Amino acid sequence: MRPLIHRKTILAVAGLCALMGAGAAVLADENVALGADALRVRALQAYGAGRPDVALSWAQALVKRDSTDFDAQLLRARAARDLSDWTEARAGAAALRGLAVTDDQSFAAAMISAQVASSQGHHGIAQLRLRQAIQVSPDETLRKIAERDFLYVRARNPWAADLSFSVSPASNVNNGSRQATGTFDLPYFGVVEAELQGSAQALSGTEFAKSLGLRYRLHEDARHRQTDVMLALSHSGFVLSDDARDKAPDAEGADFAFGVAQLSLAHRGVAGDAKRPFQLAVSLGKTWYGAEEYTGFTDVSAAQSWTLGGAQAVVISAGVRGETALDPRTADSESWRLGAGWRQAVGEAGHRLGLDLTRSDRSSDRASLDYGSWTAGARVALGQPVLGLGLEFAVTAGTRDYARGPVAGQGRLDTTLGAQVTAEFKQLDYYGFVPTLTVQGERTESDYGQYDAEEFGLKLGLRSAF
C-alpha cells in the first residue's frame, strides 16, 4: 500500500481543508486502463471538483484491486457519506478501522467513522468514535479538532448519559458525634450529660458511591429554548472499619447506605437575549436510608442568570420542596431556598471564580427538625495545570438555627466549616476521561456535644476532560 494521502487527508477528514482544490477536476473514462496511482489521482481530482459520485466509482475500483488500500477505503467512505450511501460509507469506515496501523491512520479512521455515524443520527456512536480519535490523535492540533467535533455532536445528541463511581475512605460515615458525651433532657432526671454509645459516635469506614444520570431532549428551537426530561439515580454504600465495629458491634455499613431516585422536567431558555439565560425545573423523587424507604419529595426550582462584561455573570435562584415521611425517623416537611451567585474569569490564564450565598428554611411536623440556615461558598478552578494537575479549591461556611434542641425550651445552633481540594490528573487522560483525587474535610460545632461532627476523606473518581 502506497500512502499517497497523508496529513492533508486527515485534516480533510477533520474538516480543516479539502483533499484537493476544486479547480483540479480532470475526469477520465472509467473504461480506460489505469494503474493504481493514476486511479487514486483521478479519484482525488473528482472529489476535489465536487463529484463524490465519480470519486466513489474510482475508489471502489481501487478497493476491488486491493481491499487493504487504506487511502482508497478512506476516499470510499468519505464520498459515500457525501452521497448518503450509508451501506458503502459504513463498509469503508469499518475497513479503515481494521486496516489502521499508525496513529495517523487510526485518527483518520475514527474521524470518518464518527462523521458517518453522526450523519445518520447515531450521535452516541459518533461520540464514542470521537473519543477514540482523541485517544490516538498524533498531535495537539488534531486532538483539539476531535474535541471540537465531540462537543458539536454532544450538543446535537438528544440523549446524554453521565455515569460516575468513586471510592473514598471517610472518618464519619454515619454523621455521628466526635464527642464522647452528649446533653439530654430526661424525664425525672432533667438535663444530664450522658456517654454516647454505638452508632451515636462517629464511625469510620469506606464509602462506595455511584450515580447515573440520563437526559432526553424533548424539544429545542432556534432561540436556544430546550425542554429536557432527566433521570438521576445515586447510591452511597459503606464498609465499616475495624475501629467502627469495635465501637458499634451491632452496626453494619448497610445501615447507613443512602440512595436517591429523581425524575425531572427542565426547561431552559433566554429572557430577551443570550445574556439572560434561565432554567425552570420540576422534580419528583424518593430517598432510601439503610435500604428502607425514607422520604418522597417534590421540588420546584428556577434560576436566572445575567452575563455582564468582562466574563462576569450573576445568578439568582429560588426553590421550594415538599417531603413526605416514609420512615418514623423523619417527618413531613416543607422548605424553601433563595440563592445568589457570582461567576467570573480571572486573569489571562482563565481562572474561574464562583461565589454563592444561600438562605433556606425548613418546617415540619417535628419541631426538632425545623431550622433556618445560611450557607456561603467560594470556588476557584485554575485555568492552567500546575505540575500537570488541574486544580480546584472550594471552601464553605454555614449555620443552622434549629427551633428546638434536646433541652426543653431551648433552640440549637450548628456552625459548619468545610474545605475541598480536587486534583485532575490530566496526564493520565484515557479516551477523554481523567482520574481525580479529592481531599475534603468538614467540621460542625453545635451547642450540644452529640451534634458536634467532624469528617475527613479522600475520594478517587473519574470525569470527562471536556
**Is 215 among the domain residues?**
yes
pLDDT tens readout for residues 115-164: 999 999 999 999 999 999 999 999 999 999 999 999 999 999 999 999 88
φ and ψ at 86, to 5 degrees? -70, -30
Final residue in a domain of this structure, among 129, 156, 183: 156
DSSP string over 373-384: EEEEEEEEE-SS
pLDDT tens readout for residues 263-306: 999 999 988 777 889 999 999 999 999 989 999 999 999 999 99
The answer to whether 313 touches 306, Cβ cutoff 8 Å, is yes
| 228, 110: one domain | no
For the chain, report the end-to-end CA distance as a whole number of angstroms.
36
| 91, 224: one domain | no
For 61, 231, 379, 436, the CA distances from 465, given in Å and listed in that order, are 42, 23, 19, 11
* Pick from 38-47, 69-78, 225-234, 253-262: least confident: 38-47
**Is 90 among the domain residues?**
yes
For 214, 327, 438, the CA distances from 462, given in Å and listed in that order, are 17, 34, 11
| 281, 326: one domain | yes
Q: Which residue type, as a one-letter code, is found at position 252?
A: E
**Is 2 among the domain residues?**
no
| 317, 384: one domain | yes
User: What local confidence, expressed as pLDDT, does residue 20 receive?
Assistant: 32
**Is 436 among the domain residues?**
yes
pLDDT at position 329 over 50 = yes
d(CA 291, CA 256): 8
CATH assignment at residue 187: 2.40.160.40
d(CA 115, CA 153): 9
**Residue where the block lists cell 428502607:** 292
Nearest to 441 by CA among 459, 423, 414: 459
Percent of the chain with pLDDT over 90: 70
pLDDT tens readout for residues 13-68: 434 333 333 333 333 344 345 678 888 888 899 999 999 999 999 999 999 999 99
User: What local confidence, expressed as pLDDT, does residue 11 receive?
Assistant: 41
| 289, 386: one domain | yes
pTM over 0.75: yes
Work out the mean pLDDT of the chain and round it to a whole number. 89
CA dihedral 15, 17, 20, 22 (to 10 degrees): 90
| 152, 167: one domain | no
**Residue where the block lists cell 462576569:** 312
| 227, 296: one domain | yes
Q: Which residue type, as a one-letter code, is found at position 406?
A: P
User: What local confidence, expressed as pLDDT, does residue 268 receive?
Assistant: 94
Final residue in a domain of this structure, among 140, 156, 172: 156
| 117, 148: one domain | yes
Write out the H or E segment, with its range, that includes residue 340. strand 333-346
**Is 74 among the domain residues?**
yes
Packed helices 70-82 and 86-99: angle between N→C axes, nearest 10 degrees = 150
**Is 1 among the domain residues?**
no
| 169, 275: one domain | yes
Cβ-defined contacts of 12-17 (< 8 Å, 24+)? 12/78, 13/74, 13/78, 13/108, 13/111, 13/112, 13/115, 14/111, 14/142, 14/145, 14/146, 14/149, 15/145, 15/149, 16/145
pLDDT at position 369 over 60 = yes
Final residue in a domain of this structure, among 120, 139, 156: 156
| 312, 371: one domain | yes
CATH assignment at residue 150: 1.25.40.10
Q: Which domain holds residue 116?
A: 7-156
User: What local confidence, expressed as pLDDT, does residue 33 receive?
Assistant: 52
Packed helices 103-119 and 123-136: angle between N→C axes, nearest 10 degrees = 170
| Residue 119: count of CB within 10 angstroms of its CB | 14
| 288, 431: one domain | yes
d(CA 343, CA 311): 8
Grid cell in block for residue 347? 486573569
Q: Which residue type, as a one-letter code, is found at position 97?
A: R
Which residues is 437 bridged to in the sheet?
A: 423, 460
d(CA 250, CA 93): 60
Grid cell in block for residue 356? 454563592
Domain count, the chain: 2
The answer to whether 330 touches 309, Cβ cutoff 8 Å, is no
Per-residue confidence band for 1, with pLDDT thresholds at 50, 70 and 90: very low
d(CA 256, CA 240): 10
| 163, 118: one domain | no
